[in-house]
Amino acid sequence: MIVAYSRMGFPNEVVGVYIEMINEGIKPDSSSFTMAIKACASLCDFEMGEEIWHQAVGFGYKDDDFVGCSVLNLLSKGGRMVEAKAVFEGMKRKDLVCWTTMVTGFARIGQGMEAVGVFREMQEQGMVGDGIVMLGLIQACTDIGDMKMCLSVHGHLIRRNLPMDVVIYTSLVDMYAKNGHLSLAYRIFCNMPQKNVVSWSALVSGYAQNGLAGEALELLIEMQRVGCRPDLASLVSALLACSHVGYLKMGRSIHAYILRRQEFEHVSATAVIDMYSKCGALSYARVLFDMISCKDVILWNTMIASYGIHGHGEAALSVFHEMIKTNSNPDDATFASLLSALGHSGLVEQGQYWFNEMIKRFRIEPSEKHYACVVDLLARAGKVEEALDLINSMKEPVSGMSIWAALLSGCHNHRKFSVGELAAKRVLELQPDDSGIYSLVANFFASAKKWKEVAEVRKAMRMAGMKKVPGYSMVEVKGQLHAFLMEDKSHYQYEHMVIIIEKLDSEMRAMGYTPKTEFVFHDLEEEVKVKMLSFHSERLAIAFGLLNTEPGTKLVITKNLRVCGDCHEAIKYISKIVNREIVVRDVKRFHHFKHGVCSCGDYW
């Protein structure tokens, strides 16, 4: 009966018959134990499976290979790979199924190097892997992020002439996409004989996660054009793409599609709330948040972070208090969002208080992220010496790039050159792999007029094979996104935009505006610096928006870098002159300009 039920795929019945056997005093054989443990793995009933395993040992089947293989499957499904490895190493004979279980088990829990190690040992034993073991290996390489290893696994598939079905093709697309090699991912995707919704979703997600929002959204549209209905993963990735570029119209369309075609649950709700927040529609985000009766910790964290990036630290703290009242347990991500929100609002004492409460009351050990938030909190307020004291007081030697970068950013903003030089030196010693960090160091030295150091940093950047990311700004007008680079003369309305910019410049100067040329980090003539400031990408985006929208229309600008101090000052004047609200989202936060005042209170 056990074998029959197992073949028919009825795991509950298998376990039921096994229990009857034991109760009636019938001794199970190897096959009975194997099928019963396999059934427990299918049901994810790990406690029962372990009990049957102990009974099998008691009946003398400890060294039985078939029973051992079923135990491996049970333990690997439960993520208990240390125990699985002990069982595996004690097995006298290991067949392909056992090796495959170990590779896929380690890959499933994110231990990619262990999975690769088992596969290499498998090869040394003369075993030839099948498609299932290759799927585990591809997943391992995806997590490890080693491009040479990715190419090696792909090459192994081709050399061995292993069958390539839609699942393996999709896994390869996902592997290359998640590791930033989108051209390879796209090439494999195009060459797939068949594609399913997961294949499309893998590439949409890859584009979105790598910041290629336009490509992600175009692929989503193409996916529907060929008759493939997007799944929730595709839609969530598309919402992420909308969030990156501030494409509110498309985000709303996807939200409506989810309501019509998908279940609006925690995953989709969190993504929609995040999209509205990052597209500047914070009130919509809050309305949706309040509509959800049963909130998980990720949803709470998203709302706290949403208020944080808009500079509403008190509101973020209010949401945190609501969360505590509902007996939801805040996690490390909750406090990272809360501390960041308090830092962006200048609530230094509150930030320090909740950092200490996190440790004492909530028993959460601070990570590099938390320390970086507190250092940023202090440095942003100009308390760079206090921030440095905090770094020096840490128990473990601090090597976190984010901590030193936060300190350097504060020193740059407040022109604290002594501590800033120390932070800049430490950042360079850590050999950053982010061009933005190099730019921060170069800009710091430029603000101190240390042009020799600026040249050295830029040389180090070139030697590391990095290029400065060009600043661009985007504005949504009549449902369409328009992008602008600094001094971008290619736009068909450029001449009209110049007229607007020059007119605004004249009116701003009459009101007392003086260009802050210290924000041009190049050793140039003063007149050239002034002109460069006037044609920063956000000013072009604003000029285009003013030209193409009705008077009084709110403008929402999305910028990929931090807005400079001069543009921040200029946009305050512009908002007063044109009598409009202008929202600028930079890489750090939102700035809401209205009647000549910014919501950040010049605290950014």
Strand 582-585 versus strand 590-594 pairing type: antiparallel
Concatenating the DSSP letter of every residue in 59-124 gives TT-TT-HHHHHHHHHHHHHTT-HHHHHHHHHT-S---HHHHHHHHHHHHHTT-HHHHHHHHHHHHH
Segment 474-518, tens digit of pLDDT: 999 998 999 999 888 899 999 999 999 999 999 999 999 998 877
Tell me: do 562 and 587 sit in the same domain: yes
Look at residues 287, 284, 345, 285 and name the one whose alpha carbon lies nearest to residue 314: 345
Number of domains in the chain: 3
Q: Name the amino acid, one letter, at 477.
A: V
Quick check: 5 pLDDT over 80?
Answer: no
The mean pLDDT value for 373-390 works out to: 96
The mean pLDDT value for 165-184 works out to: 94
**Would 310 be classed as within a structural domain?**
yes
Which range of residues forms the domain containing residue 389?
367-469
Strand 582-585 versus strand 555-559 pairing type: parallel
**Would 220 be classed as within a structural domain?**
no
Band of pLDDT at residue 323, cut at 50, 70 and 90: very high
pLDDT of residue 239: 95
Sole residue written with tokens 């543009």: 567
Quick check: 263 pLDDT over 90?
Answer: no
Band of pLDDT at residue 603, cut at 50, 70 and 90: low
Quick check: 186 pLDDT over 90?
Answer: yes
**Would 383 be classed as within a structural domain?**
yes
Band of pLDDT at residue 380, cut at 50, 70 and 90: very high
Q: Which one has a higher pLDDT value, 374 or 57?
A: 374
% of the chain with per-residue pLDDT over 70:
98
> Distance (Å, rounded) from C-alpha 297 to C-alpha 295?
7
Quick check: 234 pLDDT over 80?
Answer: yes
Q: Which long-range contacts (CB under 8 A, 24 or more apart) does 146-154 make?
A: 147/179, 147/181, 149/116, 150/175, 150/176, 150/179, 150/181
Q: Name the amino acid, one letter, at 491.
A: H
**Would 46 be classed as within a structural domain?**
no
Counting beta carbons within 10 angstroms of the beta carbon of residue 225, is it exposed (0 to 12), middle (13 to 18) or buried (19 or more)?
Answer: exposed
User: Cα–chain-centroid distance for residue 539?
Assistant: 29
Quick check: 398 pLDDT over 60?
Answer: no
Segment 143-172, tens digit of pLDDT: 898 888 899 989 988 888 888 899 999 999
Sole residue written with tokens 């093709």: 169
Q: What is the chain's mean pLDDT, rounded?
A: 91
Band of pLDDT at residue 452, cut at 50, 70 and 90: very high
The mean pLDDT value for 227-237 works out to: 93
Segment 66-109, tens digit of pLDDT: 888 999 899 998 889 999 999 898 888 888 889 999 999 999 99
Structure tokens at 139: 């997943």
Tell me: do 476 and 592 sit in the same domain: yes
Quick check: 118 pLDDT over 80?
Answer: yes
> Distance (Å, rounded) from C-alpha 491 to C-alpha 482?
10
Band of pLDDT at residue 8, cut at 50, 70 and 90: confident
> Distance (Å, rounded) from C-alpha 476 to C-alpha 478?
7
Tell me: do 591 and 487 sit in the same domain: yes
**Would 575 be classed as within a structural domain?**
yes
At a CB cut-off of 8 Å and minimum separation 6, what does 152 contact? none
pLDDT of residue 521: 65
> Distance (Å, rounded) from C-alpha 441 to C-alpha 453?
9
pLDDT of residue 313: 96
Asked whether the beta carbons of 141 and 112 are under 8 A apart, the reply is yes
Q: Name the amino acid, one letter, at 556.
A: V
Tell me: do 519 and 403 sit in the same domain: no
Band of pLDDT at residue 523, cut at 50, 70 and 90: low
Tell me: do 483 and 594 sit in the same domain: yes
Strand-pairing partners, residue 475, are: 482, 557
Strand 597-598 versus strand 480-485 pairing type: unpaired
> Distance (Å, rounded) from C-alpha 335 to C-alpha 369?
10
**Would 89 be classed as within a structural domain?**
no
Strand-pairing partners, residue 482, are: 475
Tell me: do 493 and 519 sit in the same domain: yes
Tell me: do 396 and 445 sit in the same domain: yes
Quick check: 28 pLDDT over 90?
Answer: no
Quick check: 310 pLDDT over 80?
Answer: yes
CB-CB neighbours of 60 under 10 Å: 10
Tell me: do 404 and 522 sit in the same domain: no
Tell me: do 508 and 548 sit in the same domain: yes
- Taking the CA of residue 594 as centre, how many other CA atoms within 13 Å lie in the half-sphere pointing to its CB? 10
Residue 553, SS3? coil
pLDDT of residue 407: 96
Asked whether the beta carbons of 133 and 99 are under 8 A apart, the reply is yes
Cα dihedral sign, 560-438-333-241: positive
Tell me: do 478 and 458 sit in the same domain: no
Concatenating the DSSP letter of every residue in 387-399 gives HHHHHHH-SSPP-
Quick check: 519 pLDDT over 80?
Answer: no
Among the candidates 419, 442, 469, a domain finishes at 469
Residues found in the chain: 604
**Would 385 be classed as within a structural domain?**
yes
% of the chain with per-residue pLDDT over 90:
64
The mean pLDDT value for 533-558 works out to: 96
Tell me: do 578 and 530 sit in the same domain: yes
C-alpha distances out from residue 176 to 108, 151, 181, 205, 239, Å: 18, 9, 5, 12, 21
Q: Name the amino acid, one letter, at 394.
A: M
**Would 328 be classed as within a structural domain?**
yes
pLDDT of residue 163: 83
Segment 277-295, tens digit of pLDDT: 999 999 999 999 999 988 9
pLDDT of residue 147: 87
CB-CB neighbours of 206 under 10 Å: 27
Cα dihedral sign, 90-92-95-99: positive
Among the candidates 328, 358, 388, a domain finishes at 358
Q: Name the amino acid, one letter, at 344.
A: H
Tell me: do 589 and 486 sit in the same domain: yes
Among the candidates 429, 452, 469, a domain finishes at 469
The whole-model pTM stands at 0.81
Band of pLDDT at residue 260, cut at 50, 70 and 90: confident
